[in-house]
Amino acid sequence: MSINRHGISIGEVSSGDALLFLTDEQLRQGIEAMFFAYRGFTSAPDAILEGLDYGRAHHRALHFIARGQGMKVKRLLDILGITKQSLNRVLRSLIEDGLVDSRVGTADKRERHLYLTEAGAALEARLSEAQRRQMRAAYRQAGPEAVAGFRMVLEAMMDTGMRAAHASLRDGGT
């Protein structure tokens, strides 16, 4: 059994697969690191949103609409995992403020497709720029193996539905 540079015990099994042995304290430290990293990751967008009377749900909606212009409301609802009522509140304010355009579907008139307006795209870029800069710097510092491992950990923490939604977005699905 050996200890890696992060103080985590790694043992080898006969098949060659590495087993990871984490203490409760190491797990607690990982949980705390996620809390503090999330706080740091959201601080710049939160400051912008506060001045606009928006919250993180607005940012998430803008982000995912930007990733899939023309996305159906139902798809956004599935991705965000919030109630229809909550999403309607968020969308109503974004539409009223001219950041999102909701268009009736051409194939099915009951569907609504969402698009960022020019102002919406500008706000989304502003909100996300600090996060992209932060992720880029952290990824460079950690290196490619750590980046791959980090992604694997995050995906392993997702339930099946979230993992499928994430894969769909990653693969270009709207």
In a domain, 90, yes or no: yes
Number of domains in the chain: 1
Q: How far is CA 167 from the centre of its chain?
A: 12
In a domain, 86, yes or no: yes
Map tokens 């109503």 to a residue: 92
In a domain, 102, yes or no: yes
pTM here is 0.81
pLDDT tens, position by position, 118-135:
999 999 999 999 899 999
In a domain, 12, yes or no: no
Say which CATH number the domain at 122 has.
Answer: 1.10.10.10
Using CA atoms of 33, 90, 167, 148 in order, give the dihedral in degrees to the nearest 10.
Answer: -20
In a domain, 28, yes or no: no
The residue range of the domain holding 128 is 34-170
In a domain, 5, yes or no: no
pLDDT tens, position by position, 40-84:
999 999 999 998 999 999 999 999 999 989 999 999 998 998 899
Contact 26, 32 (CB under 8 A): no
In a domain, 115, yes or no: yes
Any bridge partners for residue 9, and if so which? Answer: 3, 21
Q: What is the DSSP letter of 70?
A: T
